[in-house]
């Protein structure tokens, strides 16, 4: 009988990984089927594009997806959601050289290695230094397994950001409009690495109308 590899043994003993893998697959399949029917053609095209981009990640054995949000209220709306500061231990006081408090040999680092996808909701309301801190941290964690990861955004981990730059931007006490814009994700060096999708149909305005597509 073959022996289990060290990575599998480590994962089975990791509480964080066990929690993220503790989901009801049949129930999730039913929920997915119901949600996919309600997609507009525009949303379906975006979904298909994202899934094509994520094909490699989705095929990973663990299939762990971390749902996080920039605010506590938004995180409650996500299945298994956590705030980004809580999940990634992002410093409350940020600078352009900040890093997250995640040790490469910690359980959280192991969870991040096993994660196939990170979905970050309400991203525009967080200071760009938070994204850059996570970027530096993941590069440091993942370069141990593959030196090339140090050259990839977020160490090669796929992250989908959600949000609207026309709503809430980072809060800069006493800051000018330019200070706020400069603090946003779109002003980060990471922005040029992002692929941007811009849906044009406001689904909130179509709820209850005869034109709502199912």
Please provide the CATH number assigned to the domain covering 49-203. Answer: 3.40.50
Residue 40's pLDDT is: 77
What pTM was estimated for this model as a whole? 0.71
User: Rg (Cα) of the chain, in Å, rounded?
Assistant: 19
Hey, where are the domains in the chain? 49-203
Which residue has 């129930």 as its token pair?
Answer: 27
Q: Summarize the confidence of residues 89-95 as an average pLDDT.
A: 93
Cα three-residue angle 22-65-165, rounded to 5 degrees: 140
pLDDT tens by residue, 161-176: 988 887 788 888 888 9
Residue 77 — very low, low, confident or very high, per pLDDT cuts 50/70/90?
Answer: low
Q: Summarize the confidence of residues 85-104 as an average pLDDT.
A: 93
Taking the alpha carbons at both ends of the chain, their separation in whole angstroms is: 51
Pick the closest to residue 118 from 50, 171, 184 (CA basis). 50
Residue 98 — very low, low, confident or very high, per pLDDT cuts 50/70/90?
Answer: very high
pLDDT tens by residue, 175-185: 899 999 999 99
């Amino acid at each position: 009988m073959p022996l289990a590899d060290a990575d599998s043994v480590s994962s089975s003993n990791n509480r964080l990984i066990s929690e993220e893998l503790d989901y009801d697959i049949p129930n999730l399949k039913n929920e997915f089927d119901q949600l996919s029917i309600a997609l507009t053609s525009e949303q379906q095209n975006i979904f298909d594009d994202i899934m094509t981009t994520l094909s490699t990640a989705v095929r990973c054995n663990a299939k762990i997806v971390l749902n996080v949000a920039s605010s506590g209220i938004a995180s409650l709306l996500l299945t298994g959601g956590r705030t980004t500061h809580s999940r990634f231990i992002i410093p409350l006081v940020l600078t352009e050289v900040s890093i997250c408090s995640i040790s490469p040999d910690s359980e959280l680092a192991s969870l991040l290695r096993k994660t196939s996808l990170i979905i970050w909701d309400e991203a525009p309301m967080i200071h760009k230094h938070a994204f850059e801190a996570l970027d530096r941290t993941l590069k440091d964690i993942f370069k141990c397994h593959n030196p090339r990861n140090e050259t990839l955004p977020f160490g090669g981990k796929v992250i989908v950001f959600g949000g609207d730059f026309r709503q809430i931007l980072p809060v800069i006490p006493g800051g000018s409009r330019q200070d706020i814009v400069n603090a946003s994700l779109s002003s980060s060096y990471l922005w040029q690495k992002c692929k941007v999708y811009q849906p044009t149909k406001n689904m909130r305005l179509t709820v209850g109308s005869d034109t709502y597509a199912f």
